[in-house]
Amino acid sequence: MRFLFLGLTALFATPAAAEVISAEPHGFEIQHVVNLVIPQPKAFSAFGEVAQWWSKDHTYSGDAARLSLQMRPGGCFCETLEGGGGIEHLRVAYLQPGERVVLTGSLGPLLYEATTGVMDVKVERIAGGSRVTMNYRAAGFANGNAEKLATAVDQVLGEQMKRFRVFAAGGAPKR
């Protein structure tokens, strides 16, 4: 069975600004920032096309085309599985079209650790384009291991944000 964070210990390239802001036994906060030379609405729209930029290596199915993100309150960042199954990775809790989406849920193996998370994605207009800031905070039981998981989650989300940056700029991330 593949997991969303398959190969968590591998080192991945990250966007220019990445940081584990805090990490403790039962929670952590990470942040990634990418600057794009595209307008704010286009950057926000590209984030919603998760199946186009998320790595297949960090899915349960091994196929990023099975991912979807419904950009509406209550919308699901979900993945379908063979035989009619599936998983809800995150759920849209707040949406300000073109500017901000807040999703809640536990990514990958965090689901099995009795944690919950909040992914706050802000898209700002800056000179020459837009800035996308993704902040993910997860907390809960985590078997007292959250500070060890923080680095791995940071690396995986860093890889995804790098892929997002390539896609949003009109490129095609490596499949």
pLDDT digits (tens, 9 = 90+) for 130-161: 999 999 999 998 888 898 999 999 999 999 99
Whether the Cβ atoms of residue 101 and residue 95 lie closer than 8 Å to each other: yes
- Does a structural domain hold residue 127? yes
- Does a structural domain hold residue 30? yes
Domains of the chain: total: 1
Tell me what the mean pLDDT of segment 20-46 comes to.
96
- Does a structural domain hold residue 12? no
pLDDT in the model for residue 7: 35
Q: Model confidence at 173, in pLDDT bands (50, 70, 90)? A: confident
- Does a structural domain hold residue 106? yes
- Does a structural domain hold residue 15? no
* Per-residue pLDDT reduced to its tens digit, 55-102: 999 999 999 999 999 999 999 999 999 999 999 999 999 999 999 999
Range of the domain at 116: 20-168
- Mean of pLDDT over the chain: 89
- Does a structural domain hold residue 32? yes
CATH number at residue 61: 3.30.530.20
- Read off the pTM: 0.88
pLDDT in the model for residue 145: 87
Check whether 117 has a pLDDT greater than 80.
yes
